[in-house]
């Protein structure tokens, strides 16, 4: 068990670095956005990012994830080639069809979003970027399948450097504005796609296996509805805010959402990368249920400490990156609430692993679709009266509902005993410390930071006491003694 947990967290930490790099790119780019763009212009960037994410989720048919799952059931180089080659060839065909349909309507989309056809080039670049990104996901899935996390991180490092570098080049140096952001994304995706594909070229053959395609499609197609629903769940609030408001409100909310959702990208998404391949292989072991429950407690602990960290220090960060743009400062009040709501998304996401393990993805689709309809309904009910605060409330209520519903169905598929007493204690402590931290705004910067660091230290000590059991503590003490002996020898 100890080896399994350590192995999981080792791979999760390494894969987490890839997500950290992606988020680091977002954080590095935020000062560029907040200094080069008004809240209205940044709101447009946020909406266009939503369009790109939505298209990637739909057009890909989740084939990259299907390559990982179906490939995990195969052994041998030739079997890997069959799965990977069929997946890549299918992606190429689907993406070609997508471009043939999408590009001729670029002017139409421009008119729909901006009431003018002058920005049709935005959608041309987005369409090309979507195709290139989907193509790059296939070799990256193969790298995950082979359990080569360092190689995986390398390509995300390459994407980070390319995205930041070209964004600065186009937006700051050449002042191309919004189109510069889109062009930078296209080039970064292209570099990663070409390099990752060439690195795995030995697995590719110009071959299409119908039997493998049926397996890939059967696994991936039901997840399209889940993916679309999930995207609508996380992105529809900004669309509805724009329907009842202005791009400037979308810009402020988008900034708060990018910071508040850090736990989603660094922990929730990271676990799916590092944990699922290990869970697939360990699923039939006798101690799997205990392993799955123990990892869940640690998972929620990680989300909670990151939620607290983001909530406590978002004020200082936002002031630094938007010192000349006070219109962005409203986001300070929004970040803690958004961050805490993502804890419940963590619940729902982890319970959803059960459906992937048992190959009952239809339940995940059902839960997400119900959740998205609830979320959209709540957004339409609350945003007209409470503006962006209504969007935050709608998101929180939706995630709470989905976590409860997902837990009930998951338990029918795979009965797991979770340590909810410890988990509720962690969440209660997180909420209390966030509230205390928000009351320090009247103090000086040094005093405020000192109090917040103290709150973070208190929570870390509490988390250690609640999550780390006596056996783990004894093993940790032995490791420290061994280290001390080696240091003194």
Three-class DSSP labels, 231-262 = HHHHHHHHHHHHHHCCHHHHHHHHHHHHHHCH
When the pLDDT of each residue in the chain is averaged and rounded to a whole number, the result is 85
Which residues, at least 6 apart from 161, have a Cβ–Cβ distance to it below 8 Å?
Answer: none
Confidence bin at 5 (pLDDT 50/70/90): low
Percent of the chain with pLDDT over 70: 90
Question: Which stretches of 115-209 are DSSP H helices?
Answer: 120-145, 149-167, 178-199
254 contacts 42 by C-beta, under 8 angstroms: yes
More confident residue, 350 or 148: 350
Q: How confident is the model at residue 405 (pLDDT cuts 50, 70, 90)?
A: very high
Residue 158: is its pLDDT beyond 50? yes
Q: What is the mean pLDDT of residues 20-29?
A: 74
Q: What angle do CA 410, 375, 298 make, to 5 degrees?
A: 45
Angstrom distance (rounded) from CA 294 to CA 60: 33
pLDDT tier at 3, thresholds 50, 70, 90: low
The CA–CA distances, whole Å, from 276 to 72, 225, 331, 349 equal 10, 20, 34, 12
Domain boundaries, the chain: 37-208
| C-alpha span between 75 and 209 (Å, rounded) | 17
pLDDT at 295: 85
Least confident stretch, 158-162, 172-176, 292-296? 292-296
């Amino acid at each position: 068990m100890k080896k399994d947990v350590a192995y999981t967290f080792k791979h999760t930490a390494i894969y987490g670095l890839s997500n950290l790099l992606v988020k680091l790119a977002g954080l590095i780019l935020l000062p560029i956005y907040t200094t080069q763009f008004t809240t209205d212009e940044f709101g447009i960037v946020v909406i266009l990012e939503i369009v790109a994410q939505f298209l990637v989720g739909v057009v890909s048919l989740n084939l990259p994830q299907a390559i990982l799952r179906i490939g995990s059931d195969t052994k041998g180089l030739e079997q890997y080639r069959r799965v990977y080659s069929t997946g890549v060839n299918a992606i190429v065909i689907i993406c070609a069809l997508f471009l043939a349909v999408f590009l001729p309507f670029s002017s139409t989309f421009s008119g729909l979003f901006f009431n003018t056809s002058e920005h049709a080039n935005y959608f041309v670049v987005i369409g090309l970027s979507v195709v290139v990104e989907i193509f790059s996901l296939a070799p990256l899935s193969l790298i995950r399948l082979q359990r080569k996390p360092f190689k995986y991180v390398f390509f995300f490092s390459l994407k980070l450097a390319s995205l930041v570098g070209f964004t600065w080049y186009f937006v700051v140096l050449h002042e191309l504005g919004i189109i510069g952001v889109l062009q930078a994304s296209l080039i970064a995706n292209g570099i990663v796609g070409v390099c990752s594909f060439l690195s795995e070229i030995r697995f590719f053959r110009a071959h299409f296996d119908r039997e493998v395609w049926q397996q890939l499609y059967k696994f991936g197609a039901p997840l399209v509805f889940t993916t679309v629903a999930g995207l609508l769940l996380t992105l529809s609030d900004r669309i509805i805010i724009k329907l009842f408001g202005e791009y400037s409100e979308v810009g402020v909310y988008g900034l708060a959402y990018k910071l508040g959702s850090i736990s989603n990208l660094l922990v929730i998404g990271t676990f799916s990368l590092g944990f699922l391949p290990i869970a697939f292989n360990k699923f039939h072991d006798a101690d799997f249920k205990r392993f799955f429950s123990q990892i869940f407690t640690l998972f929620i602990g990680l989300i909670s400490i990151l939620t607290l960290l983001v909530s406590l220090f978002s004020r200082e960060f936002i002031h630094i990156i938007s010192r000349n743009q006070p219109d962005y400062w409203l986001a300070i009040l929004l970040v803690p609430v958004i961050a805490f709501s993502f804890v419940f998304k963590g619940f729902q996401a982890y319970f959803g692993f059960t459906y992937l393990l048992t190959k009952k993805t239809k339940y995940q689709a059902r839960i997400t679709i119900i959740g998205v309809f609830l979320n959209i309904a709540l957004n339409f009910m609350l945003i007209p009266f409470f503006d962006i605060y209504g969007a935050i409330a709608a998101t929180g209520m939706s995630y709470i509902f989905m976590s409860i519903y997902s837990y009930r169905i998951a338990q029918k598929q795979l009965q797991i005993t979770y340590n909810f007493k410890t988990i509720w204690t962690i969440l209660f402590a997180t909420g209390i410390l966030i509230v205390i931290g928000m009351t320090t705004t009247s103090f000086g910067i040094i005093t405020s930071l000192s109090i917040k660091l103290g709150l973070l230290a208190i929570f870390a000590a509490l988390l250690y006491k609640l999550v780390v059991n006596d056996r783990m503590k004894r093993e940790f003490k032995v490791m420290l003694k061994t280290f001390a002996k080696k240091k003194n020898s």
